[in-house]
Amino acid sequence: MTRFKPSQRLILASGSAIRAQILSDAGLTYDVISKPVDEAAIKESMLAEGSRLRDIADALAEAKALRVSRTEPGFVIGADQIMVMDETLFDKPPTIKAARKRLKEMRGKTHKLMGAVVVCENGQAVWRHLSVTKLTVREFSDAFLEQYIEMEGESLTRSVGAYRFEGPGAHLFSNVEGDFFSILGLPLLPLLDYLRTRGVIPS
């Protein structure tokens, strides 16, 4: 596959396979360098301070990008996403049993995915974008749920909503409001627009 040749180094500061796939499918050449960030501590601190929930996703994305940008030259892309339902912040379900419980709680309700992408350069955040998507889960049957869980297996624990929207998880929904890429965890179009304005990729 022929790729766009960026004028400067691009780095994805994330171990997320779907975020990497989004960039690859867009024809970008990039490195993946992911360094650990204490996400739980950031969330706990911000919740204690009464921060807006959408600001938590932004802070997590920035922390990931900064961690890499302090030692690596280039444009470093950090991204994160949180799920909010009934004004409650959710983390990834730790087990399949917890995922089953989560999906039953989501049935017939609308939840929000609040995502952020931050670009850092030379250890400083130089650009950020926040997105909010709304997803309504249909009133699916228990029989469907069990078949879905059998189909997805351990992958249920790798997503905060216990679904892969780009895969079988699409069957869970009756309505979606928002950008496809943002649902997957990386608001691609605003990111590409920024990279064009900086001359990193052709305009």
Annotated active-site residue 80? The verdict is yes
Predicted local confidence at residue 10, as pLDDT: 97
3.40.1280.10, 3.90.950.10, 3.40.50.2000, 3.30.1540.10: CATH of 10-197: 3.90.950.10
Q: Model-level pTM?
A: 0.93
Predicted local confidence at residue 48, as pLDDT: 92
Please provide the DSSP assignment of 126-195 as one string. Answer: EEEEEEEEEEEEP---HHHHHHHHHHHGGGGGGSTTS--TTTGGGGGEEEEES-HHHHHT--HHHHHHHH
Note the pLDDT tens digit of each residue in 28-81: 999 999 999 999 999 999 999 999 988 999 999 999 999 999 999 999 999 999
Q: How far apart (Å, rounded) are the C-alpha atoms in residues 15 and 85?
A: 25
Residue 1 has pLDDT above 70, yes or no: no
Six token digits for residue 115:
């995502």
Note the pLDDT tens digit of each residue in 99-116: 999 999 999 999 999 999
Identified catalytic residue from 38, 55, 80, 86 = 80
Residue 2 has pLDDT above 80, yes or no: no
Domain ranges of the chain: 10-197
